[in-house]
């Protein structure tokens, strides 16, 4: 009992087609997971910065790198960018820095805000010891290739973040350098 070359080619073609279908399905299921993870990380790091500011009684800063691939929480001092980050971050870390995987954060200003850029870092929130945020309103756009962006609005008075699925009504101004 043997198989002809044609039968083997047909079986191979069916296996290839099934493999492509499974790959496309998996890509569709995991389409924007990195983008959602980046949005969750921003919200978590904002909460971390707020908690650290309140616990330690000093100002804390949350900043994104100029290329949008890193997020940093550290005390709001002149040494903000040069303080070493704990790797991996722990509960009692003074400085944390995270690298995003395939998603990027783009900082947009709303209203009269002028965002501060120092070196490679753009400040998106400066948390006071009372838990409020110095910046009035900041809008972030989290992007991943071939996906609709996710918008995050940071509110100054409460120092909290809200996720927006659609672009805000008013066109935001780009970061001023």
Q: Say if residue 10 is in the same domain as residue 46.
A: no
Q: Say if residue 65 is in the same domain as residue 25.
A: no
Q: Say if residue 37 is in the same domain as residue 112.
A: yes
Of 168 and 39, more confident = 39
- Which residues are CB-neighbours of 52 under 8 A, at least 6 positions away? 60, 73, 94, 127
Q: Say if residue 152 is in the same domain as residue 79.
A: yes
Q: What number is the average pLDDT over the span 121-126?
A: 91
125 pLDDT more than 60: yes
**What is the DSSP annotation of the chain?**
----HHHHHHHHHHHHHHHHHHHHHHHHHTTTHHHHHHHHHHHHHHHHHHHHHHHHTS-EEEEEETTSSEEEEEESSTTTTTSPPPSS--TT-S-EEEE-SSEEEEEEE-TT----EETTEEEEEEE-TTS-BSSSEEEEEEEETTS--EEEEEETTTTEEEEESS--SSPPEEPP-
Phi, psi (deg, nearest 5) at residue 76: -80, 80
Percent of the residues in the chain that have a pLDDT greater than 90, as a whole number:
38
In whole angstroms, what is the distance from residue 147 CA to residue 95 CA?
31
Q: Say if residue 14 is in the same domain as residue 44.
A: no
Q: What number is the average pLDDT over the span 122-146?
A: 88
Q: What number is the average pLDDT over the span 92-120?
A: 82
Domain count, the chain: 2
Range of the domain at 3: 1-30
Q: Say if residue 11 is in the same domain as residue 90.
A: no
For the ranges 35-49, 113-127, 147-161, the maximum mean pLDDT occurs at 35-49
Q: Say if residue 19 is in the same domain as residue 50.
A: no
In whole angstroms, what is the distance from residue 80 CA to residue 116 CA?
13
Task: Kindly report the pTM of this predicted structure.
Answer: 0.75
In whole angstroms, what is the distance from residue 48 CA to residue 42 CA?
10
Q: Say if residue 4 is in the same domain as residue 65.
A: no
Q: Say if residue 2 is in the same domain as residue 76.
A: no
Q: Say if residue 86 is in the same domain as residue 148.
A: yes
Q: Say if residue 82 is in the same domain as residue 153.
A: yes
Phi, psi (deg, nearest 5) at residue 172: -75, 155
Q: Say if residue 169 is in the same domain as residue 126.
A: yes
- Position 110 scores a pLDDT of 65
């Amino acid at each position: 009992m043997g198989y002809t070359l044609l039968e083997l080619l047909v079986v191979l073609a069916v296996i290839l087609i099934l493999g492509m279908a499974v790959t496309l399905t998996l890509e569709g299921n995991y389409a924007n997971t990195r983008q959602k993870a980046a949005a969750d990380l921003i919200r978590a790091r904002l909460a971390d910065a707020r908690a650290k500011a309140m616990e330690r009684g000093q100002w804390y800063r949350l900043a994104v790198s100029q290329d949008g691939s890193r997020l940093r929480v550290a005390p709001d001092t002149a040494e903000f960018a040069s303080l070493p980050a704990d790797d991996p971050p722990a509960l009692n870390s003074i400085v944390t820095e995270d690298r995003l995987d395939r998603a990027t954060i783009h900082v947009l200003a709303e209203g009269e805000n002028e965002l501060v850029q120092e070196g490679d870092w753009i400040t998106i929130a400066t948390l006071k010891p009372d838990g409020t945020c110095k910046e009035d309103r900041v809008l972030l756009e989290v992007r991943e290739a071939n996906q609709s962006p996710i918008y995050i609005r940071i509110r100054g008075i409460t120092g909290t973040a809200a996720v927006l699925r659609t672009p805000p009504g008013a066109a935001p101004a780009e970061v001023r350098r």
